[in-house]
Amino acid sequence: MRILVTGAGGFVGRHLVPALLAAGHEVACLTRHPGDLPEAWNDLPSGRVEPTGQGIRVLCAEFRPEVVVHLAALYITEHRFEDIAPLIEANLLLGAHLLEAMRESGCGAMVWAGTSWQHYQGADYRPVNLYAASKQAFSTLAEYFLDAAGLRLLELHLYDSYGEDDPRPRLLKLLQASASKGEPLAMSPGEQRLHLLHVEDLAAAFALACHQVLRQDAGERRVYRLPSAAAVTLSELVAAFNAADPAHPVAVEWGGRPYRAREVIVPWEGAETLPGWRPEIDLAQGLRRLRGAQGG
How far, in Å, CA of 136 to CA of 124, rounded?
Answer: 11
Residue 293 is predicted with a pLDDT of 79
Closest CA to 159 of 266, 294, 281: 266
The yes-or-no verdict on residue 164 having pLDDT over 80 is yes
Task: State pLDDT tens for residues 135-150.
Answer: 999 999 999 999 999 9
Q: Where are the beta strands (DSSP E) in 199-250?
A: 221-226, 232-233
What ranges do the domains of the chain cover? 2-162+196-226, 171-194+229-267+281-293
How far, in Å, CA of 102 to CA of 115, rounded?
Answer: 23
The yes-or-no verdict on residue 18 having pLDDT over 80 is yes
CATH of the domain spanning 2-162+196-226:
3.40.50.720
Q: CA 25, 31, 34: angle at the middle one, nearest 5?
A: 90
Q: Which CATH architecture has domain 171-194+229-267+281-293?
A: Alpha-Beta Complex (3.90)
- The answer to whether 283 touches 231, Cβ cutoff 8 Å, is no
Kind and range of the H or E run holding 207: helix 199-214
Instruction: Tell me the whole-structure pTM to 2 decimals.
Output: 0.96
Over residues 238-244, mean pLDDT? 97
How far, in Å, CA of 121 to CA of 232, rounded?
Answer: 17
Average pLDDT value over all residues in the chain: 96
Over residues 233-246, mean pLDDT? 97
